[in-house]
Each structure stands twice: as structure tokens, then as C-alpha cells.
Amino acid sequence: MSARNRLYAALIFLGPALLAVILLRIWPAFDAVHQSLLAPRATRYGFENYIFILTDPVFQNSLWTTLIYSLIVNPLQIAIALALALLMNVAVRLIRFWRTLILLPVAIPQSVSAVIWGVALRPDGPVNAMLVAIGLEEQRFLTSPDQALASVILIVSWIGVGYWMMFLLAGLQDIPKSLYEAVRIDGANRLQQFWYVTLPQLRRPLTFVLVANTVANFLVFAPVQILTQGGPQGSTNLIMNEIYTLAFVAGDPASAAAATVILVSVVLLVVIVQFRMMSAPEDRQR
């Protein structure tokens, strides 16, 4: 097969995927940038939409809320997922059953989980009934501006940790047993084994989980829309919900496009930083 023919063959095979990427990813992205630069009823490009949202206290609060949410939810989910993966990697009785139990919430759609948790966390719901039964005070959960964001974190983590655990568990099982034997001969204790063997060997799956989880958490929408719609008092107004509100409630698609561009830029920036931080020293020297 000549080089030209090989190129054609590759193009035919890649064509559908490339077309999908262009139609579903690249074109909408360009369209969002184009929309974001056109103020309502404007005919020329300008930064009016960006100035409008960046000076809007509601949008500022939404960015701030998203930042706090991300700083808590990502380390929390990864720490729990890693702890669960380590736990599930040891040989105990019924290990498959325990793994299934932890992975099960992943199989439930986010929206269904949100509805179930919404009922559970209602002021007169079963969670409060349990709290009272063990002698604690009733909590307001999703109706309190001080507890709503924490409740959302609880719900998305319940859904998410099992999923991320599976990647880390697969990574753990890939680590050669001989490495542990070698450091044990050198006299390493359990903590040292974890620090000098497990963590470095887990770098690749951890990088993936960190990046994918961060992106997923920036884009959380369904639980917020179903449970709080950004309330009470804007305390759960994560940026995706704010974009939705701008586009479909306030009827301001231009501002929504600007907010989308800002969101994508922030996510890209964070992901680039994460990749840099997680790359090994030997990769960086190259």
C-alpha cells in the first residue's frame, strides 16, 4: 500500500470521529466565543458581555462558590477513593461483594440519586429521623445556606467515589509484587511501602483521576438544578447552574456564552497545572 493510499485509508477510518469532534466540540466552542463577543443587539465584537458578568455580584459569587466547592470536593473524593481502593485491594472475605457495593451508586443516574437524596435530606425526611433517633438535633440540610453546599458535596461524592476507586484499584493491581518484596528486604515499614512504592507507581492512574474528577466537578449540574437551583441564597450557585440561569431563565444567551468561555478557560488552566504537577521528574527533564 502506498503512502497516499495509507493516508486515504486512515482518513476513511478516522473520518466519522473527526467529523464528530468538529461538529460536536470545535464548532460549538467557536460559536460560544463568537456569541460571547456580541452584546445583545450589537453588530460589532466587543467585551461588553465579559465586563457585564465579571462585574455582576451574582456571577462573582458563583465563581467563588465553585472555587470553594472544587477545593473541598476534589481532594476529598480522591482521598476517599484512594482509601477505599487500598482497602479493596487486600484479600478479605467477600471482597467482590464489597467492591460491587461501593461501585453500585455509579450505576444510578445522577438525577435519580439527586431525587432520592432530596427526599432523604428533607426537613421531615429519614436522615433527620435517624439523627433524632440517636439523640442529635434535626438539621436543615438543603434549605440552609450554611449546609446546602456541604449536602451537595455529600451527594456528588456518594455518586463519584466508587467510580474513581475502580481506576485506582486497577492501578494498584498493576503494581508488581516484586517491588514490595524488594523494599521489605530493605526494611521498609507499611507507611514507607505506601510512600515509596504505591504512590509513585500509582502516578498515572492518579493523574487521570485527578484531572477527570476536577473537570467532572466543575461541570456538576443535575444535582444542583434538581435539589436547590442554586439556592438557598446563592449558596449552591455553582457556575454551570449560573450559566443555565443566564441562558434559559434570564434569557441572556450572550452572557451565558461569555460565562461558558470563562469556565472552559478556568478548567483548561487548572488541568494544565495539574498535568505539570503530576509529571515525574524524569519526564520533565526530557
Partner 1 sequence: MTMAERRSRRGGTSGKVAALLTATLIAGPALAQETTVNFLGANSLDWYAPVIEAFEAAHPDITIAYQRVPFEDLNAAIEARIGQGDSSIDIFEADTPRVPALAWRGYLAPLESRRAEIEAAVPNPVDIEQVSHEGTLFAYPMWSSTQLLYYNRDLLDAAGVRAPAAAPAERLTWAELLEKARAAQEAGAEWGVLVQQVDRYYQLQPLFESSGAGPGLTGDGLLEPAVDTDAWIETARWYADLFEDGIAPRGIAPSQTDDLFINGQLAFMIGGPWVLGRYMSAEGLDFGVAPVPYFEGGEPVTPTGAWALGINPGAANKEAAKTFAEFVTLTAEGSYLSISQAPFPPTNAEARQRYIADMAQLASQIGPIHAVMEYELGNTAVGRPRTIGYVAFETIMNRTFSDIRNGADVAEMLEQTQNRLGRAMSRLR
Amino acid symbol at 51: I
As given in the structure block, the three cell numbers for residue 211 are 484531572
CB of 68 to partner 1, least distance (A): 19
Q: Does 18 bind partner 1 (CB under 8 A)?
A: no
Q: Does 120 bind partner 1 (CB under 8 A)?
A: no
Q: Does 242 bind partner 1 (CB under 8 A)?
A: no
Closer residue to partner 1, CB minimum distance, 160 or 230: 230
Residue from the set 24, 248, 265, 269 that interacts with partner 1 by CB under 8 A = 248
Q: Does 137 bind partner 1 (CB under 8 A)?
A: no
Closer residue to partner 1, CB minimum distance, 11 or 24: 24
Q: Does 139 bind partner 1 (CB under 8 A)?
A: no
CB of 140 to partner 1, least distance (A): 8
The CA-atom distances, in angstroms, between 199 and each of 98, 194, 203, 281 are 23, 6, 6, 14
Q: Crossing angle of helices 148-174/95-107, nearest 10°?
A: 130
Residue from the set 86, 179, 247, 271 that interacts with partner 1 by CB under 8 A = 247
Query: How many residues belong to the site for partner 1 (CB under 8 A)?
Result: 26
Would you tell me how many other CB atoms lie within 10 Å of the CB of residue 242? Answer: 27
Distance from chain centroid for Cα 230:
18
Q: Does 147 bind partner 1 (CB under 8 A)?
A: no
Would you tell me how many other CB atoms lie within 10 Å of the CB of residue 159? Answer: 22
Closer residue to partner 1, CB minimum distance, 143 or 274: 143
CB of 247 to partner 1, least distance (A): 7
Q: Does 47 bind partner 1 (CB under 8 A)?
A: no
Closer residue to partner 1, CB minimum distance, 56 or 175: 56
CB of 274 to partner 1, least distance (A): 33
Q: Which of 204, 212, 207 is nearest to 171 (CA)?
A: 204
The footprint of partner 1 on residues 49-88 (CB under 8 A) is 52, 56-58
CB of 116 to partner 1, least distance (A): 16
As given in the structure block, the three cell numbers for residue 183 are 523494599
Residues 278, 203: contact at Cβ < 8 Å? yes
Residue 131 to residue 198: CA distance in whole angstroms:
39
Q: List, in sequence order, the alpha helices (H) in the chain.
A: 3-21, 27-36, 48-54, 57-88, 95-107, 110-120, 126-133, 148-174, 177-185, 190-193, 199-201, 203-218, 222-227, 239-244, 253-278, 281-285
Residues 106, 187: contact at Cβ < 8 Å? no
Q: Does 163 bind partner 1 (CB under 8 A)?
A: no
Q: Does 105 bind partner 1 (CB under 8 A)?
A: no
Q: Which of 76, 35, 70, 30 is nearest to 243 (CA)?
A: 35
Residues 241, 229: contact at Cβ < 8 Å? yes
Closer residue to partner 1, CB minimum distance, 29 or 182: 29
CB of 108 to partner 1, least distance (A): 20
The footprint of partner 1 on residues 170-229 (CB under 8 A) is 229
Residues near partner 1 (CB under 8 A): 40, 52, 56-58, 122-124, 140, 143, 145, 229-234, 244, 247-252, 254-255
